[in-house]
A and B are shown apart, each in its own frame.
Chain A
Amino acid sequence: MERKVVFRGKALPLALLAPQLLITIVFFFWPAGQAVWFSFLRQDAFGIRSTFVGLENFTDLFADPLYLETIRNTVVFSTGVTVIALATALLLAVLADRQIRGSGAYRTLLIWPYAIAPAVAAVLWIFLFHPQIGLVGRALNGAGIPWDYKLNGNQAMLMVILASAWKQVSYNFIFFLAGLQSIPKSVLEAAAIDGARPAYRFWTITFPLLSPTTFFLLVVNLVYAFFDTFGVIDALTKGGPAKATETLIYRAYVDGRVNLDIGLSSAQSVVLMLVVIALTAIQFRFIERRVHY
């Protein structure tokens, strides 16, 4: 027998929902709607003169070869960040999950970087990797490896990927560790008695059972790489050298806030919004099917 609780009348449920709805409308629908509206306008920085230009901002955008290059950068960057952050976190979680002395201390230390603000993290990376004043940067150059992320685009990309992934490893680590701890020991022990070696046990039991966690983290990490890595890029490379580390979100920032072209920047925000909606939809529709819950 099914029992449904139904409110009588509409006033109470609406009143209960109102705060949440209000927050969603004020902080999400309103600005998002404004972005969509502005993407059809051309206006000066102060918004004194504005003209409706239809889809011109979008056609301008996709006619710009540099924007297409930015899309390519974003794909490389997001893939790099997600793969490195997930793989490293999984490895560390598996290691920290074992019976070792002082595992509590290890775990705490591994979670630490998450508490560091992106800009501060970036400054730490500068102190390490700056070609002239950084500890590692100087060592690399001293060892005859020409390291100069200020001029070498690939090195710059490597550096922003590493810095962004490093920050996300802690977050992933917590989830992987929790996931590992919820895998029943009896299953692993049974497999061990049957003679399965650790690597085999990991790939056939642990990894599939972790897949809900991995899937969740995949979505979160991609969204992080798309949207939350602005601070690291801004502090480390400002999208340079040339445009080697300019991602979609960084370009939207530069066009909107630095170049004060609100229309073009809004068009980019709309594109980003669509990308993320599509990405999430695809993930839930196709990838989720192969996930064991």
Chain B
Amino acid sequence: MHRRSLLAGAAALGLAAPASIRAQGTGRTTIEFWYGLSGALGERVAEQVKRFNDSQQRFTVNASFKGSYIDTMTGAIAAWRAGNPPHIAQVFEVGTATMMAAGPAIRPVHQLLGEAGVELDPKRYLAGVRGYYSDTQGRLISMPHNSSSAIMWLNLDAFEKAGLSTTDLPRTWRQVRAAAERIKAANATPAAITTTWPTWVMMEQMASMHDIPFATRANGFEGMNAELQLASPFFQKHMDFLLQLQKDGLFRYGGRDNAADPLFPAGEAAISFNSSGLRARVEREAKFKWVSVPLPFHDDVIQQPKNGVIGGASLWVLSARNRPAEEYRGVAEFFRFISDVDQDLWWHKVTGYVPLTTAAADKGRAEGYYQQNPGADAAIRQLSRAEPTPNSMGFRLGGFVEIRNVIQEELEKALQGQQNAVQALEAANRRGNVVLRNFERANRA
């Protein structure tokens, strides 16, 4: 029995080997692409790659799902250390500073394109997207791929039940609070407000929109010696506001990262803050009328909010010894393909991510896509409504994954009632700065 299955296994291997050789025999150059999107979004990535492979004869992009964003990034780093990295690795936005500091391990996109003779004007990408992945001279370091922004999701059935207008929707935090009070009074949903990605939404987006520094040195864009500025009056004000919401029973903490994702589509919370990438899931699961709108702001701090920041991931080109120019060329061609207007618009529509290029956004608008799908452009409007300031360009902080967790931990302690807003922010600031200094030391040594 055992021997038979071993034999069968050996036979299967024997059959598989020539098949892979055949694939190489067609003269196509293979490009390895590791990505970290699961479920429906992962299928879209596979489809995007298939479209590229079908569009030409010269290259085959081989896309492999490598687990979560963190798994993909650490896997790619480990593979580089072992001398056998993929050509392209998808890395989430908080890993940007770590990748940028990697020097010889990565090949900046502008250099890649230049060497391959492929022209892609960085100006074609949305400003908010481009800025996050460019160096100080405005040259693209990594390739924009899937960018989202945090937006506000509203359960319109609950609004109706609470006697709230379903057309004149809340725009400021004051109005959000007023709406939540009505929702609670009418018991329209078990919880009034919840949020996903607590740090990204409540700290990073708020800093950007209110033009408040998150860290010195233009949030780290100007150098690794940046220091966090979390204990500032604005963050105190906002965290006090959140804690008060919780105290009054209007806010329900749903956990770290995207742990609270199910609460909105399940009808558990009437107001939620999620990535625009949640759209496909809400469309599939929500059994009520809903809409997505830009994030609220404090109108006593700013009248015309600045742009929000992106989330999501970009594509990094990894270097390897003896990697032939033809393979880099293939990577460049793939990048050109996904930056094409039609491909980009397709990607935007099937994923809920924002379009990468302004041309695709314009085309979507001209087609009337946003009239048919109201709110699908909330993230685009939020990202492009103002010229980015040094406080709203994005973040380039080493160890940002850890800093986010530090902030989440201290926020949780505050929500538990163990400390107040000032203590939470000061602790987060102190611990976060230790992370920054460690990163600086490790990358300067």
Contacts and interface: CB of A to CB of B under 8 A. Distances in A.
Contact of B409 (A45, A150, A242, A259): A242
B102 A150 contact: no
Interface string A1-26: 00000000000000000000000000
Contacts of B81: 46-47
A133 B262 contact: yes
Given A44-B442, A133-B266, A238 B256 contact: yes
Interface stretch (B112-120, B163-171, B389-397, B410-418): B410-418
Contacts of B254: 132, 150
Given A42-B442, A44-B442, A241 B412 contact: yes
A147 to B, nearest CB: 13
Nearest to A148: B253
Contacts of B190: 132
Contact of A259 (B105, B402, B412): B402
Chain A contact residues: helix, strand, loop or mixed: loop
A133 B102 CA distance: 42
B191 to A, nearest CB: 7
Interface stretch (A48-56, A180-188, A267-275): A48-56
A117 interface: no
B399 interface: yes
B253 A133 contact: no
A176 to B, nearest CB: 32
Band of interface residues on A: 20 to 34
Interface string A37-67: 0000011111111110000000000000000
A45 B412 contact: no
Contacts of A148: 253
Contact of B418 (A238, A242, A257): A242
A12 B101 CA distance: 53
A151 B409 CA distance: 10
A240 B98 contact: no
Interface string A181-208: 0000000000000000000000000000
Given A238-B256, A242-B409, A257-B74, A132 B266 contact: yes
A48 B415 contact: no
A260 B98 contact: yes
A116 interface: no
Given A42-B445, A45-B102, A240 B268 contact: no
Interface string B399-424: 10110010011101101101000000
Contact of B70 (A49, A132, A257): A257
Interface string B254-276: 11110100110010100000000
Given A150-B254, A260-B74, 6 more contacts: A44-B445, A46-B102, A47-B81, A132-B252, A132-B268, A258-B401
Interface of B: 70, 74, 77, 80-81, 98, 101-105, 190-191, 252-257, 259, 262-263, 266, 268, 399, 401-402, 405, 408-410, 412-413, 415-416, 418, 435, 438, 441-445
